[in-house]
Structure 1
Amino acid sequence: MKTYKWIKSSILFGPLGIMLGLMSILSCDRSPLDTQDTDLEHLAAVEPMTAQALSSNIRKKVMHLNICGNVCWVATHPESGGVDSRGSTSRMTKVLAAIDSYTPHIITFNEICYSQYRAIRSSLIARGYGATYASTTTAGGCDNYDASWGTGFGNAIFFKGTSPASSTYFVLPNATGAEPRHLLYTDVPLDGKTIRVCTTHLSIDAAWRLKQIEYIVDKTSAWIAQGKPVIVTGDFNALPTAPEMGLMYSHSAGTGQFQECDESHNCATPLTFCRGGEYTFNETKKLDYIFFSAVHFGGMEGDAKSRFPNPISDHNTLQGSALWQ
């Protein structure tokens, strides 16, 4: 029987200061794919927020960005702020400006340093967001934040109008010695419904990427069968038309249970929607996705905001929204 490790932590903010909650790890028998590296901190932080009900006719807005926090800002755009591995210079300001412009309910990041996550978290808490994070590995370009988290590098989810929640990740199948890949998720209540929000960053190796998507589909299918709305975001490192991506799409020869937010761009005539979308990487490829479970959501809208001339990363910021079905 497949079981998994839950990673839980909560941080409570009060008028008397900050109190770090006890972190607990509950484990049981699990498959090899659900194990984690024991030499790294893979703990998630969840902020308490006030519950907020949204009208069912209000779009559920999601923003996703592979922030390339380890190298891209210094290596690719030194003219735009220099080293910001702790997120204290202009890049985090641009991230916040993008968030303020779109006002999403959910924000997800790939390739974010723990130090960058900590830097932006306080600003987003002030904007009404909770937060969760898990390292997948360490990265030499990340600021060595502290003795516990160090140069952690991984994924983050921010969520607006939620109560304190637990955060969990699965370790995805991958080649021995390759960079670990995770599926991070947390439950976010909107309109009195609980949405399971996930983010991931998949391998560049097609064979292992197929195994990773199969694993994600296995997990998400079970959740959808239980009646839970699911959103999956991330850098899949694959084009929409790649064979393995057909496991996600519910249309266009796909066998999956999801629609992607930006499926009305770059479609061949006379199609009005397809496995397409605007470019999200180097203005040449769509690699980043926001998937909504098709049985729960409809009316998809998506937009890849160009990284030029004011870039945040080598990836574009992807914005997507949907309505309840």
Structure 2
Amino acid sequence: MTRFGRIRSVLAVALCAALLPATAAQAETTSAKTYNIWQWNVGGSTIHGGKSDTGTVDGAVASIVNRNAHFVAFNELCKGQWDTLVTKLREAGWPDVSTNFARFEPSINAGGGVCGGDAYGNAIFSKYPLDTADRIALPDDPSSEQRNMLCAPLRDDSTTRFCTIHIAAVDLDKGVTNEHKVEQLAAAQAQLDSWVSQGQTVMIAGDFNAQPHYPALNTYYSASLNVPEINDSNRGSFRELDDNDSDNCLGYGEWTANDSRAVIPKKCGGGMAKIDLIFVSEASLLGPGSYSADSLAIAANCKKGAVTINCSDHRILTGTVKLK
């Protein structure tokens, strides 16, 4: 064979190899998606009185951008604060396409005695364009709020859906959940499970006002999470992104709410409550080590008039997940 013939043969082999189907490992690497999720109960009315100039909105924007968040959830947010967040996130270049990336759903309408007369509720933000939101009313509780779960699928991937929720706060200090909380959690779970059964990827971040070891969350956590005396008897479809945190408490995670009344498993050392959670459908996870979470120290540099205050009574909860 001539030298030219040998070169031509090598090129032909290389071309054929390039055209062959990718191996399973190559396909998995190509199709895997990594998302950063960011969650905060901001105390928009009780702490900030509905104002957007106390430092909490600016701090949230900076954190969202610095953490390269893809999905963002807020609880206890006032409508004016949501409007300001939309504007400031656009100014910060987040997301790249600054239209159709935010949704707000009130749990108390304007004129309801909160937020300086403004509406108050839940919000989600996405780095990717969103489709029509699902605004799901949850069963009533004794408070003045109409609790809700706010979700939206991605416009360009209707099988991926992001949600937030804020469950009733009753009985946080008793280590049990009353009928109102149980009903709300069950109603939300039924809808989430319906989407999962259709093969959708479901991510939900919010203030569940229930801790990982509460029986009411056994139908959320997957049976693959079984940590005796901390978080067992589970039979659900989800993993919580902090449930593998062995540095703090395996099966439980790190505290998120500045509330020492909450009953915490003794093996987790007691202390503050973990009630802010990020669940992702287990069937969508790339593998056992494909997720993690962290709760961030509460910033203490917000201003209420001339007084410096904590920016919330909840920590920001962040998580990273790799999906199939």
TM-score normalized by the length of structure 2: 0.71
Query: How far apart are the structure 1 equivalents of 2:277 and 2:94?
Result: 25
CA contact (8 A) 1:233 1:288 kept: yes
Mapping 1:284-323, distance limit 5 Å: 284-298=272-286, 299-310=290-301, 311-323=310-322
Residue identity over aligned pairs, in percent, reads: 26
Equivalent residue, structure 1, for 2:107: 136
Q: Relative to structure 2, which stretch is displaced further, 284-293 or 212-221?
A: 212-221
CA contact (8 A) 1:69 1:142 kept: yes
Q: Secondary structure of the residue that 2:169 maps to in structure 1?
A: coil
Q: Which runs of 5+ in 1 are unaligned?
A: 1-53, 74-82, 145-150
Q: Relative to structure 2, which stretch is displaced further, 216-225 or 258-267?
A: 258-267
Equivalent residue, structure 2, for 1:127: 94
* 1:174 corresponds to which of 128, 140, 149: 140
Query: How far apart are the structure 1 equivalents of 2:55 and 2:189?
Result: 37
Q: CA deviation at 1:308?
A: 4.3
* 2:123 corresponds to which of 156, 170, 182: 156
Q: Secondary structure of the residue that 1:98 maps to in structure 2?
A: helix
Equivalent residue, structure 1, for 2:257: 281
Q: Please tell me the root mean square deviation across aligned C-alpha atoms, in Å.
A: 2.3
1:187-239 Cα shifts (integer Å, max 9, x gaps): 1257x563111111001232211111111111111111111110111101111
CA contact (8 A) 1:56 1:323 kept: no
1:48-103 Cα shifts (integer Å, max 9, x gaps): xxxxxx96445211100001100124xxxxxxxxx6x2313422111111112101
Query: How far apart are the structure 2 equivalents of 1:277 and 1:178?
Result: 31
1:5-47 Cα shifts (integer Å, max 9, x gaps): xxxxxxxxxxxxxxxxxxxxxxxxxxxxxxxxxxxxxxxxxxx
Q: Relative to structure 2, which stretch is displaced further, 88-97 or 61-70?
A: 88-97
* 1:209 corresponds to which of 178, 181, 188: 181
Equivalent residue, structure 2, for 1:249: 221
Query: How far apart are the structure 1 equivalents of 2:209 and 2:236?
Result: 18
Which amino acid letter does the alignment assign opposite residue 317 of structure 1? Answer: I
Q: Secondary structure of the residue that 2:319 maps to in structure 1?
A: strand
Q: CA deviation at 1:141?
A: 4.2
Q: Whose strand proportion is higher, 1 or 2?
A: 1
Query: How far apart are the structure 1 equivalents of 2:76 and 2:278?
Result: 16
The count of residues paired between Structure 1 and Structure 2 equals: 250
Query: How far apart are the structure 2 equivalents of 1:89 and 1:56?
Result: 42
Q: CA deviation at 1:242?
A: 0.8
Q: Secondary structure of the residue that 2:283 maps to in structure 1?
A: coil
Q: CA deviation at 1:115?
A: 0.6
Q: CA deviation at 1:174?
A: 2.1
Q: Secondary structure of the residue that 2:66 maps to in structure 1?
A: helix
Q: CA deviation at 1:143?
A: 3.7
- Relative distance call for 1:296 and 1:235 in structure 2 (3 A) is same
Q: Which of these two proteins has the greater Rg computed from alpha carbons?
A: 2
